[in-house]
Structure 1
Amino acid sequence: MPRPGLSVLRGVRRALGTAARIYLTGCALLLGWAIMTASDESMAAVVPLFATAPSSVVLLFLLPEADTTFLLSILLGALVNAMIIGWCARALRRGSTPDTAS
């Protein structure tokens, strides 16, 4: 009997195709750059927020106010967008044949 954790990881790996992984890598690089260059009067933190929009902007308003809300909205927004990118890439690759796995 397979463990439930393995099937979840397999589903996430299938959902995140090559295009989604490239997107996540770019978001991680932008976030690292923003953290390294951010100062009090810098607007560098806005760049990763825009790169992960619209999900991160919606999450920024939905998550409770805390010190980590901005960072958490960027991370979750990037993951949501990557899942959507993976779904679109699979749909385009599949074409007119139905997906029998889902």
Structure 2
Amino acid sequence: MELLACLLARAVPDARVELVEIVRVDNRFYIHVTPNHFRYWGRFRKRYSYSLGLAQDRGARVFHTACPEFPSKEDLIGWLADTLGLTQGERNFLHLTIK
């Protein structure tokens, strides 16, 4: 998960990222960011305002104070890659490190 933590820290440089976990709850997946999950995702949304629309297009449950919840881990990672504009190589590497 170190790559994911680095990506999220780079995506929102003014937010602290110490630990990142992909969490599964009731067959939904989201990214939990420590130390302050809600502050991180609030800043993420301000920087990437279009991210909520992309999440809804992938069937996610969207919250205004937390990471969207996706029906699969692949949808979650695909959404993040689309939001951050990752290259195909970066996407492939991210998918490999998450499995």
TM-score by length of structure 1 reads 0.28
The structure with the largest helix share of the pair is 1
TM-score by length of structure 2 reads 0.29
The structure with the largest strand share of the pair is 2
Larger radius of gyration: 1
If asked which structure has higher relative contact order (CA below 8 Å, sep 6+), I would say: 1
